[in-house]
Amino acid sequence: MMTRILTPLLTLLTVALSGPVHAQEAVDIGVIKNEDVKIVQKLLYPKAGRSEIGFHTAAMPFDAFTFTPAAAFTYATHMAEDKAIEVVLMGGYGMKNGTYKELEGQAYGVAPDAYRFLGSAMVDFQYSPIYAKMNVMGQRIFHHDVFLTGGLGVTYEEAIQPDASSALAPTLGLGAGARIFTGKRYAVRLQLRDDILREKRSKTADTQAWFIKQNVSLVIGVSKLSK
């Protein structure tokens, strides 16, 4: 009878004494720094090791004398989630805008020395520092990334004036955009591009002049990633 009573008491005493011992063995590692905290997340729509083909429509609405509708084809190779090389081929046709037509009209009779955009070929480096999710009206979650681009290429333009002289200009291209994923292999792309041209224009048969011109374009399209 005495043994039955002592056994549970000894068990409780052992547990009570062992608690402080375990607590004393805990190691205090101090405060964890922000740079030591990393969130590991498997991306729902990864890009690393995949290629991407895109078809886009574009417009250049900010030129002083022309309005240019355009279309573009892109091909990118994603070396990592945040790094890619992309080839951009764009074609369009610059048309006289209201300002140009007013200046060449009877009131002024002056045709500005404007050049229309016809095409460009660029090689861009793409850096995507942000991958995130957005909630649209509490109904659906969209995954998206934000990217910056910079590259070099050439742009071909033609004078609107009757001589229709052409210019092949070296071009520095800068841009920023977003890729909104709509499925495992498809995404909608929005982008703002600023192509800076160093353009040599023939003014007359004997003189030539250099111009710095910016072709700022708004681009929207659809891209498809490889499996």
Q: Which helix (H) or strand (E) holds 17?
A: helix 2-24
At residue 66, the pLDDT reads: 94
Distant-in-sequence contacts of 79-82, Cβ < 8 A, 24+ apart: 79/48, 80/48, 81/43, 81/46, 81/47, 81/48, 81/128, 81/131, 82/127, 82/128, 82/129
Name the residue with tokens 């200009």: 169
Q: Which helix (H) or strand (E) holds 134?
A: strand 115-136
Q: b/e map of 76-103 (b: 16 or more CB within 10 Å)?
A: bebeeebebebebebebebebbeebeeb
At residue 21, the pLDDT reads: 47
Give the N- to C-terminal CA distance of the chain in Å, as an integer.
75
Per-residue pLDDT tens listing for the chain (227 residues): 555 555 555 555 554 555 544 445 666 666 667 666 665 567 888 899 999 999 999 999 999 999 999 999 999 999 999 999 999 999 999 999 999 888 888 888 888 888 999 999 999 999 999 998 888 888 888 899 999 999 999 999 999 988 888 899 999 999 999 999 998 899 999 999 999 999 887 764 455 677 899 999 999 999 999 98
Per domain, the residue ranges of the chain are 50-225
Q: Are 55 and 207 in contact (CB under 8 A)?
A: no
Name the residue with tokens 């050439």: 154
At residue 134, the pLDDT reads: 87
Backbone angles phi, psi at 206, to 5 degrees: -110, -20
Distances (CA, A) of 36 to 29, 33, 39: 13, 5, 10
SS3 label, residue 85:
strand
Q: Output the pTM of the full model.
A: 0.77
Which fold does the domain 50-225 belong to in CATH? Porin (2.40.160)
